[in-house]
């Protein structure tokens, strides 16, 4: 692995708990990793530790099989060949675009510098803007200049800290896709910090969800969404709620009894013996709930959010439980109206009903039923 963190810990004097608490993760060469989580979860501190701007108090960081940080080793930031892109771009206002990109190329010959600047501006699509100044560019263009400047010295790793936070939502997602294409074309390994899930999904090959200094899961976007390792990940990623359920063994099948009725044709499900009396909480995503006028289960719309092609409805069942549903926008029902719904669930994500919502909880893995699929890439929180 190109970047490896093993039980990394970063602590500050006077703080009761570490800002980064025993984090382990691997990033392959050429991959883009993304760290997401709420404010103060430790993701930026982790990024700064990788950069060499913060010292490790425990564990280690290995870069290209070399230990660069541990409790006894600290390779200075300038010796790590790491590029950084910040949320404020940090462009020099008195320098042209090409001179900003050239800034990190000291020590090279003039012809070599010019060739590298041309290549970088072509890579980010700003060849025509070489003579312009930062204030003459849009926010997205300024961010691409910052990216070109960071890539120009050929860093072995690129770190990006909330690089799109100053841009509007639509531009952020579009630019994230553009930046992903640029990094892939440059064959650059990168670690990216953001608080925006859609941004993370657009750019990342692998995504880590952090809370209170701990890494809850390091996995693909698909697995984070469909197979969250902890209750925190399940709540933080996507739209979904937990509903009480009871698991029953019927012949060789597990029956999942919920307030929406029994879930049928489920490909993955724990055995009832996993829980006391088979009682658990089941995660239901908004895309697990289907609007069906003929369904026997009815729910009242208590909130609605228009998303263009669809509504996100928040619904209350007669039994008091709340669920969410994506409904095509031509089904424009009013708040307070009762509509029919049914659950279509491919696999069941379950959690112990008695567990608190905290970082110490671990998801129950699917059992070895004939049609079950195991996923071993989830991170267990000690």
- Check if the beta carbon of residue 69 is closer than 8 Å to that of residue 45: no
Quote the tokens at residue 317. 């069942």
Separation CA 341–CA 322 (nearest Å)? 12
Query: So what's the pLDDT on residue 368?
Result: 37
- Check if the beta carbon of residue 150 is closer than 8 Å to that of residue 116: no
Selection from 54, 52, 60 nearest residue 13 by Cα: 54
Separation CA 51–CA 55 (nearest Å)? 10
H/E stretch holding 157: strand 157-161
Q: Where are the alpha helices (DSSP H) in the chain?
A: 43-51, 97-102, 110-123, 139-151, 169-185, 197-203, 221-226, 231-236
Residue 67 C-alpha from the chain's centroid: 26
Helix (H, G, I), strand (E, B) or coil at 224: helix
pLDDT beyond 80 at 239: yes
How many CB atoms lie under 10 A from the CB of residue 131? 10
- Mean pLDDT along residues 343-355: 81
| Residue whose pair of structure tokens reads 């994506």 in the numeric block | 326
Q: Which of 96-105, 180-189, 262-271, 284-293 has the lowest mean pLDDT?
A: 262-271
Q: Give the bridge partners for 207, in sequence order.
A: 34, 219
Separation CA 357–CA 275 (nearest Å)? 17
pLDDT beyond 80 at 243: yes
pLDDT beyond 90 at 187: yes
Confidence band, pLDDT 50/70/90 cuts, at residue 320: very high
Where, residue-wise, is CATH 3.40.50.300 in the chain?
3-226
- Check if the beta carbon of residue 348 is closer than 8 Å to that of residue 372: no
Quote the tokens at residue 358. 């905290």
Confidence band, pLDDT 50/70/90 cuts, at residue 132: very high
Largest CA distance in the chain: 77
Separation CA 186–CA 137 (nearest Å)? 23
CATH of 240-351, one of 3.40.1500.10, 1.20.1250.20, 3.30.1120.10, 2.40.50.140: 2.40.50.140
Q: Which residue has the higher pLDDT, 281 or 1?
A: 281
Q: Which residue has the higher pLDDT, 255 or 127?
A: 127
Selection from 264, 239, 245 nearest residue 254 by Cα: 264
Dihedral sign from CA coordinates of 135, 139, 140, 144: positive
pLDDT beyond 60 at 378: no
- Nearby residues of 355 by Cβ (< 8 Å), 6 or more positions away: 231, 361
pLDDT beyond 90 at 109: no
Query: So what's the pLDDT on residue 148?
Result: 94
DSSP class per residue in 286-321: GGGEEE-TT-S-EEEEEEEEE-SSEEEEEEEETTS-
- Check if the beta carbon of residue 132 is closer than 8 Å to that of residue 140: no
Structural Rg of the chain based on CA atoms: 24
CATH number of the domain located at residue range(s) 3-226 in this protein: 3.40.50.300
Query: So what's the pLDDT on residue 362?
Result: 41
Confidence band, pLDDT 50/70/90 cuts, at residue 88: confident
Q: Which of 153-162, 234-243, 250-259 has the lowest mean pLDDT?
A: 250-259
| Residue whose pair of structure tokens reads 């700064």 in the numeric block | 48
pLDDT beyond 70 at 351: yes
| Mean pLDDT rounded to a whole number for the chain | 88
Where, residue-wise, is CATH 2.40.50.140 in the chain?
240-351
Selection from 62, 35, 28, 8 nearest residue 192 by Cα: 35
């Amino acid at each position: 692995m190109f970047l490896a963190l093993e039980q990394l810990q970063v602590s500050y004097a006077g703080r009761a708990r570490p800002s980064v608490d025993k984090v382990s993760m691997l990033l392959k060469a050429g991959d883009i990793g993304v760290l997401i989580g709420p404010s103060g979860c430790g993701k930026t501190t982790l990024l700064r530790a990788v950069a060499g701007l913060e010292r490790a108090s425990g564990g280690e960081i290995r870069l290209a099989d070399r230990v660069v940080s541990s409790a006894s080793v600290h390779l200075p930031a300038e010796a790590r060949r790491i590029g950084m892109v910040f949320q404020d771009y940090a462009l020099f206002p008195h320098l042209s675009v090409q001179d900003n990109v050239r800034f990190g190329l000291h020590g090279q010959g003039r012809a070599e510098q010019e060739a590298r600047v041309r290549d970088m501006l072509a890579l980010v699509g700003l060849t025509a803007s070489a003579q312009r100044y930062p204030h003459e560019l849009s926010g997205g263009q300024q961010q691409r200049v910052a990216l070109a400047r960071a890539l120009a010295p050929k860093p072995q790793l690129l770190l990006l800290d909330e690089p799109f936070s100053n841009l509007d939502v639509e531009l952020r997602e579009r630019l994230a896709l553009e930046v992903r294409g640029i990094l892939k074309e440059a064959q650059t390994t990168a670690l990216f910090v953001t608080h925006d899930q859609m941004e993370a999904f657009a750019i990342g090959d692998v995504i880590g969800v952090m809370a209170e200094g701990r890494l809850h899961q390091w996995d693909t976007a698909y697995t984070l969404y469909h197979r969250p390792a902890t209750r925190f990940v399940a709540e933080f990623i996507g739209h979904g709620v937990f509903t009480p359920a009871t698991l029953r063994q019927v012949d060789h099948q597990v029956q999942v009894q919920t307030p929406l009725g029994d879930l049928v044709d489920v490909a993955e499900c724990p055995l009832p013996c996993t829980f006391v009396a088979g009682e658990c909480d089941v995660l239901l995503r908004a895309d697990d709930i289907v609007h069906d006028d003929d369904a026997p289960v009815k729910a009242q719309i208590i909130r609605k959010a228009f998303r263009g092609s669809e509504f996100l409805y928040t619904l209350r069942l007669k039994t008091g439980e709340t669920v969410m549903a994506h409904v095509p926008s031509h089904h424009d029902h009013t708040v307070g109206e009762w509509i029919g719904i049914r659950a279509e669930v491919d696999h069941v994500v379950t959690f112990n009903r008695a567990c608190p919502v905290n970082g110490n909880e671990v998801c129950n893995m699917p059992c070895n039923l004939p049609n079950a699929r195991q996923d071993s890439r989830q991170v267990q929180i000690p």
